[in-house]
Each structure stands twice: as C-alpha cells, then as structure tokens.
Chains A and B, each alone.
Chain A
C-alpha cells in the first residue's frame, strides 16, 4: 500500500502535496473504505447466519425486509440506534461504558492485517500473525470488563467463563500457527501466502500431515475464541440470559454483536491465509486490476466458505458443558498441538525444501475425506422424510 501511496504522490492525483499529508489522505481513504466493508460484512453475516440456521432447521428465517430479507441487518441496526440506552444504577459506570470501546478497538485492529489480495492489505506487518493474536486479546478484556462492571450475577458468570475460555484456547491456536511458521520462516501474512501456491496441493493445509492436523486445531480454537457454538458458553442464551451482555441494551449490545459477527469473517480470513492459500490465483493476465479483483474474490469466497462452515456447526451441534470445554482444551488440544509442532519441525529437518509426494498424498487424502463426507450427507438426505428435505431456493 505504501507503493500505491508513493505512486499517487509522484504521478497520481496527489502529485505536489507534501508527503506526510498525502500519506495521511491515503490512509484515511483506505480506513474509510474498509470501515464500510467491515460494517457490510458483519451486517450481511448476521442476516445470512439467521437464514442459514433457519434453512438447516427447516424454518424460514427473516425474509420480510427487502428481497429474501436481505436488508434485515440494516433494519436491526436502525432499531438498535433508536432504543433507549440503560446503564444500571448498581453498575460501575465508567467501566460499563468503556467495555464496548475496547472490544471494538481490538476488533478493528485485527482487520488492519487481513490480506485481501496481492498488495491489498492495510498494514503488512512483519509480525502479522503475532499482532493479530495479540490484538484480538483486547476483545477478551472488553467482555471481561462488561461482565464485571455490570454488577449482575449472570454477567459476572458469563464474563468469567469467557475470559477462561478465550485465554485457554489461545494456547492451541498460537501453537498450531507455528506449524506453518516453521515452513515459511516469516510471521508476515503476505509472506505466508506468497509461500503457498494457487493449486490446492501447494496449500499449507496439505503440505504435510502435521499442518493438516494444525488446521483443524486452529479452526476449533478460533471458534472457541470467537465465542461460537459449540463453545458459546459466555453468552449462553438458555442458561445465562445473555452472559456478559445481560445488562447491555440497544446500541451498546449491538456493538458487541458487531464484533462477534465481524470476528467470524476474521476467523475465516486467518484460516484461509495461513492454510488455504489465501488470495493465490494463477497468473492468467497481466492486467493488474483484473488480477487484483480475482484475487479479492477468491480470498473472499474461501474465507466466506469457512464462515459458512462455522454457521453450519452452530446450527448443528449442541453447546458443550464448561468442564468439557476446559478438558477439551487442556487435555486434548494443548498436548496434541505441542506434539504436532515438534512433528512439523522434524518434518522441516527431514525435508527442508518440501516433499511433493507427501503433498499430493495429503491432497488425495483430503479429497477422499471430502468424498466420504459428501456420501454421508447424501445418505442422510436420502433417508430424510420428504417434508424435511432441503431445497436451497425455496
């Protein structure tokens, strides 16, 4: 992006301006563009998620506002802006009001490092992965603050659970990433994507058995960090009212849900860039604009597919108990991820330049697993009663 800013300053529309002012203008412009993109993605995800659940559970879902209910999220936002804002008298008011800000800061900070295409990244930090891990931690502080400051028993329980859960699952997530980092030797998001290829067998997912395992650990841990079902204990509607957000009303609770739905896309984007080849496409044209657009679309589709998988999981699985949650993390994911890391390092020692047969083998294995899975789905669809059958268009 700096090259782009330099180009605009040298021969583009910003020619003649002082350098710092030009940079500031470019940064502000892209921040505004991405702000709109974030709002759109978070909003559309909130609508799409409800539609997808409804379809999976043989319901209809929101379909009144706009075609197929497509601007339901806008209506929800306007409704929430018009709602009265209630701060309980017993609450710790400064903390209560500060909590949504912290969650939003952590959430927006993560977007700065999401690579949408070759050069289409706001800040390609050399510590990218570490930065995202660190900055998303701010969301935890926001939720914990919300839970504590509400002075409400439900909120306190939700906030505490949330802190314990997010903090625990950060360990398998951070260790699983290392299985990729040993292959690339860089923490920069763009560097990791450039080390992969457009072909699926050049993705890190299929690079060796250890990255394959790491992908699933990473995805599960990120689901838990994003407070998604089956790990949505902090905000378990049926047991804790609304968890940490019980006392929040109107716009303030909307901000928390914006963070949750936006985080869903960040989960998809992270998994895509680390394991699924990111924006990599074949170099089919020299037209930079077309290539950039195709890369953006490829990246968006890949990450949105993972968002869809997360919705699917949420509509399918029941919530785990809090002791199951902790034992899953500490007794399974943490040991597996550490052993997995050592295995991945051993692999790099054995094959410093990659091992093509293993890649192709892993790719074939992945295809076989997918086919088996689709056969299972088809089997269950055939067995379903006709009135339960699923028609995506209806």
Chain B
C-alpha cells in the first residue's frame, strides 16, 4: 500500500510540476509589455467601478451550510455501505438497513424543513410585515 500512496504523491506533485514547467517555458518565450491600461481589471472596457471584493449573495452561504450537513452524512454512509454486504451475509442486513433508514430519515426531515422554509428557492419570497 505504501507503493500505491507513493504513486499518488508523485501524481499530486506531477500536477504542480507540469504546471510549473509549462509556465516556466511560457515565461522564457512570451513577450512582456505591461502597461497600466492593459493591467486594469476588465469590466467591458469601462474603467472598473470599485472593488469586486464585496458581500455577495447570501444564497451561497445557505447552500454551503446545507451541503456541509449532507457531506458529513455521506462521510458516515460510506463505511456502512462498504461493510453492508458482510452484514447481509451474516444475516444482519435488515438491522443495518433499519439503522441507515433512521439515519437518512432524520436528515430528510431536515431537507424537508429547509424546503418548506423556501431556503432552496433561489428567490425567496418573504412576507412583508404589515
């Protein structure tokens, strides 16, 4: 297994080295005539108005939150599914299935709650205070 992981490490490095070599080759070959207008931020040819580092749409945070919960759940589902066949062959399949059913069920209640709260809609309709 160490051999396999050494390979993986080599491949991760290979990605960086390839990118580095290509950029290095480009650095040797390409022209470099920087100029202030060339280096300005592209905004359809107009002078850029302000910075782009702003508070962006809060939807993205919500998606990230919901994702985080589901991702943790997936991390827990993987070991169960890997060992599931063993359990079935030992005759304990239904027990494991029930447990996973409860596990997924709890999460599903959460999903339904988020859905009912309209947090999955890109444009949430908020009732105006009267």
Residues of A within 8 A of B3 (CB): 1-2, 5, 23
Q: B15: shortest Cβ distance to chain A, in Å?
A: 3
A167 adjacent to B64 (CB under 8 Å): yes
A131 adjacent to B8 (CB under 8 Å): yes
Q: List 14 A-B contacts (CB under 8 A).
A: A27-B10, A80-B26, A81-B22, A83-B30, A86-B38, A101-B15, A101-B20, A126-B1, A135-B12, A148-B53, A170-B71, A183-B85, A251-B30, A338-B104
Residues of B within 8 A of A225 (CB): none
Known: A108-B14, A346-B97. A185 touches B4 (CB 8 A): no
Distance between Cα atoms of A8 and B74 in the complex (Å): 41
A88 adjacent to B39 (CB under 8 Å): yes
A69 close to B (CB within 8 Å)? no
A27 adjacent to B6 (CB under 8 Å): yes
The closest CB in chain A to the CB of B23 belongs to: A251
The closest CB in chain B to the CB of A324 belongs to: B122
B81 adjacent to A178 (CB under 8 Å): yes
Q: B12: shortest Cβ distance to chain A, in Å?
A: 5
The closest CB in chain A to the CB of B54 belongs to: A156
B60 adjacent to A160 (CB under 8 Å): yes
Contact mask for chain A residues 106-147; partner B; CB cutoff 8 A; 1 contact, 0 none: 111101110000000011111000110001000000000000
B15 adjacent to A109 (CB under 8 Å): yes
B residues at A contact (CB < 8 Å): 1, 3-8, 10-12, 14-16, 18-20, 22-23, 25-27, 29-34, 36, 38-44, 48, 51-54, 56-57, 59-60, 63-64, 66-67, 70-71, 74, 77-78, 81-86, 88-89, 93-94, 96-97, 100-101, 104, 107-108, 111, 115, 120-123
Residues of B within 8 A of A187 (CB): 78, 82
A330 close to B (CB within 8 Å)? yes
Distance between Cα atoms of A91 and B20 in the complex (Å): 20
A104 close to B (CB within 8 Å)? yes
Distance between Cα atoms of A167 and B82 in the complex (Å): 23
Question: A85 contacts which of B1, B32, B67, B123 (Cβ < 8 Å)?
Answer: B32
| Interface residues of A, count at CB 8 A | 91
B interface, over-half SS: helix
Residues of A within 8 A of B40 (CB): 88-90
B11 adjacent to A111 (CB under 8 Å): yes
The closest CB in chain A to the CB of B70 belongs to: A171
Distance between Cα atoms of A281 and B94 in the complex (Å): 35
A327 close to B (CB within 8 Å)? yes
Q: A167: shortest Cβ distance to chain B, in Å?
A: 5
Distance between Cα atoms of A113 and B11 in the complex (Å): 10
A84 adjacent to B81 (CB under 8 Å): no
Q: B73: shortest Cβ distance to chain A, in Å?
A: 9
The closest CB in chain A to the CB of B64 belongs to: A167
Q: A342: shortest Cβ distance to chain B, in Å?
A: 6
Q: B9: shortest Cβ distance to chain A, in Å?
A: 9
B41 adjacent to A247 (CB under 8 Å): yes
A101 adjacent to B48 (CB under 8 Å): no
Q: A227: shortest Cβ distance to chain B, in Å?
A: 16
Given contacts A90-B41, A123-B4, A152-B52, 14 further A-B pairs with CB under 8 A are: A27-B6, A31-B7, A31-B11, A34-B11, A81-B30, A90-B40, A150-B41, A153-B43, A154-B42, A163-B60, A167-B67, A171-B67, A255-B22, A323-B122
Distance between Cα atoms of A120 and B11 in the complex (Å): 15
Residues of A within 8 A of B77 (CB): 175, 178, 341
B100 adjacent to A247 (CB under 8 Å): no
Residues of B within 8 A of A157 (CB): 56
A104 adjacent to B19 (CB under 8 Å): yes
Distance between Cα atoms of A211 and B63 in the complex (Å): 27
The closest CB in chain B to the CB of A107 belongs to: B15
Question: A247 contacts which of B7, B42, B44, B86 (Cβ < 8 Å)?
Answer: B42
B18 adjacent to A184 (CB under 8 Å): no
Known: A152-B52, A327-B120, A348-B93. A84 touches B63 (CB 8 A): no
Q: B110: shortest Cβ distance to chain A, in Å?
A: 11
Q: A26: shortest Cβ distance to chain B, in Å?
A: 9
* 8 closest Cβ pairs, A-B complex: A108-B15, A323-B122, A185-B85, A105-B15, A123-B7, A112-B11, A123-B4, A349-B93
The closest CB in chain A to the CB of B38 belongs to: A86
